[in-house]
Structure 1
Amino acid sequence: MARSALKFKLLLKKDMKLPDLIRIFPVPEYIEPPVLGLDISDRSIKYAELALRDNHLELKEFGSRIIPEGLIKSGEIINKSALMEYLKVNLNEFSGRGISLSLPEEKVFVNLVTLPLMPETSIHEALELQLEEHIPLAAADAVFDFELVPSSTDSKDHLDVILVALPKKLVEDYSDVVKAVGLRPYVFEMETEALIRSILPKDEEETVMIMDFGRTRTSFAIVSGGMIRFTSTVSMAGEALDAALAKIFNVDLFSAERFKKERGFVRTKENQEVFDALLPVISAVKEEILRHLMYWKDHSEHAHNSKAEISKLYLCGGESNLAGLSEYLSYDLKLPVRAANPWVNITSFEKYIPAINAKESLSYATALGLALRSSKFL
């Protein structure tokens, strides 16, 4: 069944939370190989592959590459030919491999849409007819899909669906780039869906917030009952922390980043100057969290089958390793804040200890979620 404006096919599975936005070249599940999870951001590439050994999952391979500045900006490919050349050199070893690729969170639109009762097979067409009412894209310029929200006692006379959409050109650009370097895109999906798959326990039914604190951007997501209800992205991120330290201590950005990792965001007499330098950026991030908490509190009653109170905040992304960050946020937000565990749905550490340490794992959460996407592991 065609499920996108690009006429690529989707394979829908009953145990999936959010259907994949694009399912390219579907193959029978019994011959479906494990895929390489590929997480491409503005300034880095991270990849991971899992393997099933002795009835448990293990990390088969992983790695990262630094992307030169100017090839991708805010998730949008701005120098397609240069990016292709870069990937040909840096991902040549994976030529011919099947991949699961994340699409940039900055460009994703997520919306709750209410529809009259109708067969599920008619929902896609109904959404296409009214797409511009819910997102700033025409149907012809969008790739979109939906997840049906389970009905509750107050929604027996209508349907609630989570609409997810991306610009068609953006999806085509990423598809063109990875195929041009010899990779076989098996599935594309939004970053948040991959994150949920890796860091949220399968039995997590509470309403939670996820903050992916990266180098060039910070993304927020609210998940209720295992379903994505809200996403947002801001540019305030790790680079701003480095810039603040570089300015105060008159050092280059490389030295500032090292200083940040060594000293952290800990308020002590010896570290007061570093703490004060980082505080404006961290405070701005905290204010974004507060804004989203208030938004959810005001709108959760309209999001059926959801809980009004956010029970906890999960931190992931490389910058979430900043010492003192979780304690500061928890104290100011009056909310439990915990470092995410990207291995929670992969291994219990009883049979296998991954080669990536706990801190480094936080920056691989999306890639691991993409790798876990293989139907052999779901």
Structure 2
Amino acid sequence: MKFGLLSKYFPPPQFLKPPHIGISFSDSNIKAILFDKTQKEPSLKSVIVPIEKGGIVEGKIVDIESVIKALSTMRASFDLPFVFFAIPDELTFVFTTSVLVDPKSNPAESIAFVMEENVPLSLGEVIFDFVPTEIVKSDLEYEASFVVSVCVKKEVEKLIEALQKVGFETIGCIHESQAIANAIVKKDFSDTLSIIHARENRVGIYLVKNNIVHFSTLREASGATYKKQFLDEYEKFLDYSLKYGIGQNKSVKSVLICGEFQYTKEILEAINDSSKIDNNVALSNVWSNVFEIDKHMPGIPYEKSLSFAGPIGGVLSDVN
């Protein structure tokens, strides 16, 4: 999924689809990775730069100077200026909707009309993109189903400003859950699964159908009850998926886990130990769409690679 409506923020590339760095932001650090996605066994360059505490809080830049300082360190590690970044989950709403459409017109206006039903922000405060998933003709009308991703406009603009101030050229962005899906869900996968993005103080849960994130939720979780807090939220997620997200009375059968290794292990144990969850669960392979891991050894340890799904998905995402 690409943010076509963000084109005003990004200058037209001088050539088609330039190689670019994938970048992701969290409250504690910024991650970046670069590789040639056209090669079967590409060389990798990855960087993690810590952010001063309070620089980013819940995905929002609070102290832009501390973020610029971290990005300056990162910029010095790469000769290439082009970047494709992941918008933090905390700044994003993902939902599905159906609207009547005129096949000769842009459906953006119809989607914008239903935005207030799903997002607690005004239209002027957001940027959004959408992907059609189904179109049904009835009499003289067409009803189309869309996955809609909505992000907080001013916060995305801050990220772009910080990147550009250190000399990066932002050629595109994508919401974090879709970036992660682009990395760990094989391109030829056509079924439904869930992704768990585990971190120190929060857990992202995504419903993926046909490689597109249809729904995402974010739950704060920490301390000794980390597993219980996750399971409470995941059981609600499964109920929602069964009723609204999948249809045909199907349930999610497989789960891929990524994120900070310590917490991915806790999520894996929580699901395996739960008597209420019947899922095929595994730690993810973030190189699924880059190379065959049994034939090529990446330069990043597996445990560390689990936290690089977002930046890898940024590299794999295409420029409009």
Q: Report the TM-score, using the length of structure 1 for normalisation.
A: 0.76
Q: CA deviation at 1:204?
A: 1.7
Would the alpha carbon gap of residues 153 and 210 (structure 1) be closer, same or farther in structure 2, given more than 3 Å must change? farther
Which whole-Å deviations, capped at 9, do the CAs of 1:313-365 have from their partners, x for residues lacking one? 11000145654642441231221110110011111135531111222110111
Establish whether residue 225 from structure 1 lines up as the match of residue 210 from structure 2. yes
Alignment pair present for 1:330 and 2:267:
no
Tell me which residue corresponds to 1:159.
Answer: 144
Query: Alpha-carbon deviation of 1:173?
Result: 0.8
| Distance change in 2, residues 1:167/1:287 (3 Å) | same
Q: In the aligned structure 1, how far is the partner of 2:83 from the partner of 2:313? A: 12
Gaps spanning 5+ residues in structure 1: where?
1-16, 242-277
Report the alpha carbon displacement of residue 96 of structure 1 after superposing the two structures with TM.
6.4
Aligned to 2:101: 117
Q: Which amino acid aligns with 1:312?
A: S
Among 1, 13, 16, the alignment partner of 1:27 is 13
1:257-283 deviation digits (Å, cap 9, x = unpaired): xxxxxxxxxxxxxxxxxxxxx4x2211
**Which runs of 5 or more structure 2 residues have no equivalent in the other structure?**
none
Paired with 2:170 and 2:2, the residues of 1 have a C-alpha distance of 18
Name the aligned partner's letter for residue 92 of structure 1.
A
Which amino acid is the alignment partner of residue 162 of structure 2?
V
Query: For the Cα contact (< 8 Å) 1:104–1:190, is it kept in 2?
Result: yes
Quote the offset at 1:143 in angstroms.
0.6
**Counterparts in 2 of 1:325 and 1:142: CA distance versus 1, 3 Å:** closer
Match of 2:134 among 150, 159, 164: 150
What amino acid does structure 1 have at the position aligned with 2:250? A
CA distance in 2, matches of 1:327, 1:93: 37
How do residues 257-276 of structure 1 correspond to structure 2 at under 5 angstroms?
A: none
Count of aligned residue pairs for this structure pair: 315
Please tell me whether the aligned partners of residues 38 and 48 of structure 1 are also in contact (alpha carbons under 8 angstroms).
Answer: yes
Larger Rg: 1
Q: Is the 8 A contact 1:35 1:49 kept in 2?
A: yes
1:343 & 1:152 partners in 2: Cα distance?
36
Deviation at 1:138, TM superposition (A): 1.6
Alpha carbons of 1:300 and 1:188: their partners in 2 closer, same or farther (altered >3 Å)? closer
Alignment of 1:191-230 (within 5 A): 191-230=176-215
Q: Which residue of 2 aligns with 1:41?
A: 26
Q: Is the 8 A contact 1:208 1:312 kept in 2?
A: yes
CA contact (8 A) 1:99 1:183 kept: yes
Q: Distance in 1 between matches of 2:96 and 2:293?
A: 38
Q: State the secondary structure of the residue aligned to 1:85.
A: helix
Task: Name the residue aligned to 1:293.
Answer: 238
Is the CA contact 1:205–1:226 (under 8 Å) kept in the aligned structure 2? yes
Distance in 2 (alpha carbons) for counterparts of 1:345 and 1:154: 38
Distance in 2 between residues matched to 1:170 and 1:52, nearest whole Å: 29
Q: Structure 1 pair 66/299, CA: closer, same or farther in 2 (3 Å)?
A: same
Structure 1 position 195, deviation (Å): 0.6
- For residues 134 and 187 of structure 2, the distance between their equivalents in structure 1, rounded to whole angstroms, comes to 17
Name which of 44, 56, 59 aligns with 1:60: 44
CA gap 1:21/1:342 in 2 versus in 1, 3 angstroms: farther
Instruction: Name the structure with the higher strand share.
Output: 2
In the TM superposition, what is the alpha-carbon distance from 1:229 to its structure 2 partner?
A: 1.2
Aligned partners of 1:89, 1:357: CA distance in 2, in Å?
22
C-alpha separation in 2, matches of 1:204 and 1:103: 24
2:312 matched to 1:360?
no
- Displacement, 1:52? 5.3
Q: TM-score, normalised by structure 2?
A: 0.89
In structure 2, what is the Cα distance between the partners aligned to 1:234 and 1:132?
Answer: 22
3-state SS of the aligned residue for 2:285? coil
C-alpha distance in 2, partners of 1:314/1:219?
Answer: 12
Within the candidate set 89, 93, 104, 1:105 is matched to 89
Which has the higher mean CA deviation after the structures are superposed, 96-105 or 150-159?
150-159
Alignment deviations for residues 212-256 of structure 1 (CA, whole Å, 9 cap, x no partner) = 0012321110011222111011221xxx34xxxxxxxxxxxxxxx
Displacement of 1:140: 1.5
1:138 aligns with 2:122: yes
* RMSD of aligned Cα (Å): 2.6
Amino acid at match of 1:336: N
